[in-house]
């Protein structure tokens, strides 16, 4: 195809051996520029580079489906979020990254604050698929999760949970009964950032002190470790993301975790108020992306029913778009009939992240 284009250019310019030398050289220069542009276009038009901090084998399978549909090759650069973010920042304009895909809007917001992202994720397809509080022009939520309370039905009564809120985690009745991850965990940073957004920094600082006073142990382990602590009787309530319970129940993390998950129940806080705290896996458009058009096309694909069903059935997240059902494990054990916080903008998680860390540190939250 490139040869055909070059021949057409030659015909247009009417180059022949009888032409004057100066005119020939001028025409050859023009041809060189055209060929360079053509080769450059063909070299980049069919790929997209993802700096990927999500560690799911199923995601790679999904990108394979995108390639099969579009012919656009997906180059995955996998790593931990901190390492990938550092690389994007250090490489600056020389970065090959088109998209940064990670868990938690707080991470995308923090990258935006550092000036590493650009606008462009504002197509009609994206806007119609993603509620406005779950996106900006620079990053977009591609799947949802809620950060909720898990409890022991043997040791926690319905009366104790009635009207329960995140703010209620600081109630002295939970003293010695609560487990939650470290303050350095991004999920907790975003949860606390949302509380600052809704209640103010001063009130949230007092809340953090109450949470620390109620901890059954010093924070340790991942979200699944908090659920297992409740199952083992080390605590009565835990805070963790929704998809972890379904992951444990699926058996993919072994029989011990599967049995532990059967011993706890899920509770969605703040149902009488703003709704349960929501977060997302997000795709961010990196500044200077060499394949910006393809990056946008990939994000749009991730918001199609095909891709959303892939997420829900493999990673147990909630779909971002309407018309797609969560995994049966999620529906049967967590339910669908809960009020989501659709008012708090997820962009506030990044903006209030530093204040959240300050509040937790001051409270002695390890």
Q: Which of 334, 333, 339, 335 is nearest to 163 (CA)?
A: 339
Q: Say what the pLDDT of residue 18 is.
A: 41
Q: Say what the pLDDT of residue 55 is.
A: 85
What is the Cα–Cα distance from 180 to 149, expressed in whole angstroms?
Answer: 10
Q: How far is CA 333 from the centre of its chain?
A: 23
Instruction: Enumerate residues 6+ apart whose C-beta is below 8 A from 217.
Output: 179, 229, 234, 235
Tokens of 266: 């899920």
Q: Please state the domain extents for the chain.
A: 2-40, 48-144+280-325, 145-277+347-362
Choices 3.40.190.10, 1.10.10.60, 3.30.70.1450, 3.40.1030.10: CATH for 48-144+280-325: 3.40.190.10
Q: How far is CA 336 from the centre of its chain?
A: 21
What is the Cα–Cα distance from 332 to 354, expressed in whole angstroms?
Answer: 37
CATH number given to 145-277+347-362: 3.40.190.10
Q: Tell me phi and psi for residue 50, to 5 degrees.
A: -110, 120
What is the Cα–Cα distance from 182 to 50, expressed in whole angstroms?
Answer: 29
Q: Which of 188, 107, 215, 179 is nearest to 359 (CA)?
A: 188
Instruction: Enumerate residues 6+ apart whose C-beta is below 8 A from 3.
Output: none
Same topology, domains 48-144+280-325 and 145-277+347-362? Answer is yes
pTM equals: 0.86
Running along the chain, 366 residues long, what does each successive block of 10 average in pLDDT? 40 43 46 44 73 93 97 97 97 96 97 97 98 98 98 96 97 98 98 98 98 98 98 98 97 97 98 98 98 98 98 96 96 91 97 98 98
Kindly report the number of other CB atoms within 10 A of residue 203's CB atom.
14
What is the Cα–Cα distance from 286 to 93, expressed in whole angstroms?
Answer: 10
């Amino acid at each position: 195809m490139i040869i055909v284009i070059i021949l057409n250019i030659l015909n247009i310019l009417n180059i022949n051996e009888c032409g004057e030398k100066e005119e020939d050289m001028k025409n050859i220069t023009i041809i060189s520029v055209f060929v360079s542009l053509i080769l450059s276009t063909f070299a980049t038009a069919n790929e997209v580079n993802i700096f990927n901090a999500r560690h799911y084998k199923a995601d790679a399978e999904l990108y394979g489906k995108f390639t099969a549909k579009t012919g656009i090759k997906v180059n995955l650069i996998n790593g931990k979020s901190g390492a990938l973010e550092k690389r994007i920042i250090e490489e600056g304009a020389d970065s090959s990254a088109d998209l940064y895909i990670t868990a938690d809007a707080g991470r995308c917001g923090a990258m935006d604050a550092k000036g590493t992202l650009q606008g462009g994720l504002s197509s009609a397809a994206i806007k119609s698929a993603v509620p406005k509080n779950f996106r900006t022009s620079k990053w977009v939520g591609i799947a949802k999760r809620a950060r909720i309370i898990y409890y022991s039905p043997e040791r926690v009564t319905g009366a104790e949970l009635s009207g329960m809120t995140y703010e209620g985690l600081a109630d002295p009745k939970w003293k010695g009964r609560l487990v939650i991850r470290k303050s350095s965990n991004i999920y907790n940073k975003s949860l606390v950032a949302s509380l600052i957004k809704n209640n103010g920094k001063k009130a949230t600082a007092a809340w953090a002190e109450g949470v620390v006073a109620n901890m059954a142990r010093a924070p340790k382990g991942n979200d699944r470790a908090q659920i297992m602590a409740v199952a083992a009787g080390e605590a009565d309530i835990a805070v963790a993301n929704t998809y972890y319970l379904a992951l444990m129940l699926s058996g993919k993390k072994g029989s011990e975790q599967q049995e532990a998950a059967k011993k706890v129940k899920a509770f969605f806080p703040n149902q009488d108020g703003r709704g349960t705290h929501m977060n997302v896996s997000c795709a961010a458009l990196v500044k200077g992306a060499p394949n910006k058009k393809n990056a946008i096309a990939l994000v749009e694909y991730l918001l199609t029913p095909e891709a959303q069903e892939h997420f829900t059935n493999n990673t147990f997240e909630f779909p971002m778009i309407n018309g797609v059902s969560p995994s049966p494990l999620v529906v049967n054990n967590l339910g669908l009939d809960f009020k989501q916080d659709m008012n708090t903008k997820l962009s506030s998680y990044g903006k209030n992240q530093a204040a959240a860390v300050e509040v937790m540190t001051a409270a002695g939250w390890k």
